[in-house]
Amino acid sequence: MDAVWLILGIVLVAGVALGTRRCWRLYRYPGSREDAFGPAHEAERQELDQHRDAVRSLRSTARQELRAARDRVAEVDQAYARQIRELEQAWQQEHEDVGRGEHGGSLGAVSLYKHVLVFKERDMPLKDLSSVEMKRDESHYYLYLIWPKGYKDYESFAFAEYTEQQVLDLEAAITNAVISEKETCADRAASIRTIEAKLAAARADTGPRQAARQHLVL
């Protein structure tokens, strides 16, 4: 009895497989049964298969090329955004407040820092200072700070509290700090101009992005 059921199962599976194959051929080679199964049309069926294979190959190649083109566009866009971001960050860094900087010494009400001179509790940028001069009379040394347009401030140092060498050392330190700060500011200004030029050029240079998009052909 088991053998009978086994044979029936095999026949059933074979029938389903044969029916499926016939339906597939009718779908693959539409028209009459002769078109799908007839020996006289075997050459046409083979030619149709070749054309279909060629079309599948072309479509596969087109999909690969489109995928590669999209990847290229994404890569170019990312590089463009990264370049702009890095230049903007560099520009921002050049404009950051440098603060007072390292302390370079104090005498009386005058405190020297890398970027500013604290004079009578006021922060005065060294880049704005024109020059510094020391003078004296019978009882005091005087340190004059000369600003643009001839404006002056001064601090006095009594002989009883300070030596001439102390005041001279402060004068020299301030003079050197002013020279250094002006050079630093000039370098920073030049760097900012360079960055701004690069940023403008980078924003205007859309050629690589446009070229990448030209390959987005469906």
pLDDT digits (tens, 9 = 90+) for 114-151: 999 998 888 999 999 999 999 999 999 999 999 888 78
| Amino acid 81: pLDDT | 87
Which of 39, 68, 97 terminates a domain? The answer is 68
Claim to verify: residue 151 and residue 201 sit in the same structural domain: yes
Q: What is the pTM of this model?
A: 0.64
In whole angstroms, how far apart are CA 212 and each of 64, 72, 84, 207? 15, 6, 18, 9
- Residue for token digits 């497989």? 17
Claim to verify: residue 126 and residue 46 sit in the same structural domain: no
Claim to verify: residue 55 and residue 145 sit in the same structural domain: no
Q: Which residues contact 185 (CB under 8 A, 6 or more apart)?
A: 127
pLDDT digits (tens, 9 = 90+) for 19-31: 465 565 555 556 5
